[in-house]
Amino acid sequence: MIHSMYMIGRYWRNINNNKHREEYTTCNTTESMDHILTKCREKTMQLTWALTQNLWPHDNTPWLDINLGTILGYGCISLLSTQR
């Protein structure tokens, strides 16, 4: 589905004068959507997830473990209310 869809990581490996774009120097890793969305140590990414967690409207439900699957499937998440 998202494999090879974005111009990141290995996409740049065989393009002349662009191999340097394959690696993400801040985290010293090959760039990937999983890294960008869940593992990046950039302060802006950490701030994004902290602000997102602050918007979580379910006081009785713990914050979800965020991974690439959670992000891709967020539209299918159903949280049952324990209040009656």
Which percentage of the chain shows pLDDT scores above 70? 89
Q: What CA–CA distance (Å, rounded) separates 33 from 2?
A: 8
Spatial distance between the Cα atoms of 9 and 33, rounded to a whole number of angstroms: 9
- The reported pLDDT for the residue numbered 27 is 86
Instruction: Decide: 70 and 36 in contact? Cβ < 8 Å.
Output: no
β-pair partners for 30? 23
Q: Give the model confidence (pLDDT) of 42-72 as tens digits.
A: 899 899 999 999 988 887 888 888 999 888 8
Q: What is the pLDDT of residues 1-58, one digit of tens each?
A: 456 678 888 888 888 898 888 888 888 888 888 898 899 988 998 999 999 999 888 8
**Residue 22: what pLDDT?**
84
pLDDT at 50: 92
> What CA–CA distance (Å, rounded) separates 6 from 81?
37
pLDDT for res 80: 66
Q: Looking up tokens 């602050």, which residue turns up?
A: 54
